[in-house]
Amino acid sequence: MSKRVLLVEDELNIVEAIRFLLTREGWQVDTHSDGADAVEVIRARKPDLVVLDVMLPGKSGFDILEELRSNAQTADLPVLMLTARGQSRDREMAEKAGVSRFMTKPFSNTEVLTAVRDLLYVHGQRS
CATH number of the domain to which 12 belongs: 3.40.50.2300
DSSP 90: H
**Quick one: CA torsion of 44, 50, 56, 58, rounded to 10 degrees?**
20
Task: Please give the pLDDT value at position 123.
Answer: 60
> Residue 12: how many CB atoms within 10 A of its CB?
10
Residue 122's pLDDT band, with cuts at 50, 70 and 90, is: confident
Task: Please give the pLDDT value at position 113.
Answer: 96
Q: Tell me the average pLDDT of the chain.
A: 93
Q: How many domains does the chain have?
A: 1
User: 69: domain range?
Assistant: 4-123
Name, in order, each residue with C-beta under 8 angstroms of 96's C-beta and a sequence gap of 6 or more. none
**φ, ψ at 8 (rounded to 5°):** -105, 100
Residue 126's pLDDT band, with cuts at 50, 70 and 90, is: very low
Residue 2's pLDDT band, with cuts at 50, 70 and 90, is: confident
63-111 tens-digit pLDDT = 999 999 999 999 999 999 999 877 889 889 999 999 999 999 899 999 9
9-59 tens-digit pLDDT = 999 999 999 999 999 999 999 999 999 999 999 999 999 999 999 999 999
Model-level pTM greater than 0.85?
yes
